[in-house]
Structure 1
């Protein structure tokens, strides 16, 4: 797709992504975003009220992609251990492809306060629902396992987010979270 065929809002989100990768969110300015997007500040403000709104949209789309990727990777008929592996591998692959955006979601978005709270609650609700749905699949049912309770799913997600942040902040390979994530998920699901 040529640059002119890409919707302007997508180019702006790509510009924010590029700037976050290079400068970090806090040091990114609207001027940086429009420079990467090859557009003007006027055009930026036709699409977004400010840098925070642009970030929220970027994170909303990123997390929707994460959820869709996990959902697509998991085969509900497979045994429960394989499904956990498939979900964790899809998560790690997504995070590994965009560590700066993930860290921004974990660390920067909460610092935006009330403006980002609806995004955070929506994403955590969507991820919680994903885990409860995945654990209600035939592979889990055949093993006599009950679907994960939403509160337990939220505990698992919170721990996984924090572990992810530690690894990304330290500049380590995100694949390091695979085995601990598998162990924690198996323990909580099997418990």
Structure 2
């Protein structure tokens, strides 16, 4: 196989893989994860079950990869939205607003991540652990600046970051479940985050 043909084969495989991931997300948005089947995914992706199983061992494996990518995208977008030279309270607002904006863009997937993943058991424990560690690292990076340090806010303890992230996740999940708009809780989320960080104690 030539280098060009090998590259085309890899591109084709990646294209099919992405189509399957996109189809899973579309199915979650329309039917919910619990009602999503491999048959439904391949029908949306306009491919075959054989192709699906060439890429993923199971529906759960496809779900885990979809969420891993979504988490990475969210962390990147939040990090890019924060101006490290701004006053620390403004940086918190920028981060929360970016969190909410990314959640609104993929609200069904966000809700599925929060509500459906715990039921996956062992298949999801690694995903949950890795996602939490990535978000903790993101918060640590955002707050490891002169603006936060000079205000006495940084460093932030790991338990406090976990409580902050857990609270934001639950607030956004309940808001979506009740048919509300995530943007409606922006001010509450910003104020609560600033208050929690302001009450900084020994790390």
**Aligned residue in 1 for 2:70:** 62
CA distance in 2, matches of 1:54, 1:144: 43
Shift of 1:146: 2.0
Q: CA deviation at 1:19?
A: 0.5
Q: Distance in 2 between matches of 1:65 and 1:26?
A: 24
1:116 aligns to what SS in structure 2? helix
Most deviating of 124-133 and 91-100: 124-133
Structure-2 residue corresponding to 1:118: 126
2: CA distance, partners of 1:63 / 1:86: 18
Root-mean-square deviation over aligned CA pairs: 1.3
Instruction: Kindly state the Cα deviation for residue 141 of structure 1 after the two structures are TM-superposed.
Output: 2.4
User: Which moves more between the two structures, 130-139 or 151-160?
Assistant: 130-139
Structure 1, unpaired ranges of 5+: none
Give, in whole Å, the separation in 1 of the partners of 2:151 and 2:50: 58
The partner residue of 1:107 within 98, 115, 120 is 115
Alignment match of 1:142 (pick from 135, 150, 159): 150
State the partner residue of 2:138: 130
TM-score (norm 2): 0.89
Change (3 A) 1:5 1:41: closer
Residues 83-133 of structure 1: CA deviation (Å, up to 9, x unaligned): 011101110110000110001110001110111000001101111111122
- Tell me, yes or no, if structure 1 residue 178 matches structure 2 residue 186: yes
How far 1:180 moved relative to its partner? Answer: 1.8
Determine the structure 2 residue equivalent to 1:79: 87
- Alignment correspondent of 1:47: 55
CA distance in 2, matches of 1:126, 1:38: 34
| Distance in 2 separating the partners of 1:166 and 1:11 | 30
Aligned to 1:95: 103
Unaligned stretches of 5+ in structure 2? 1-11
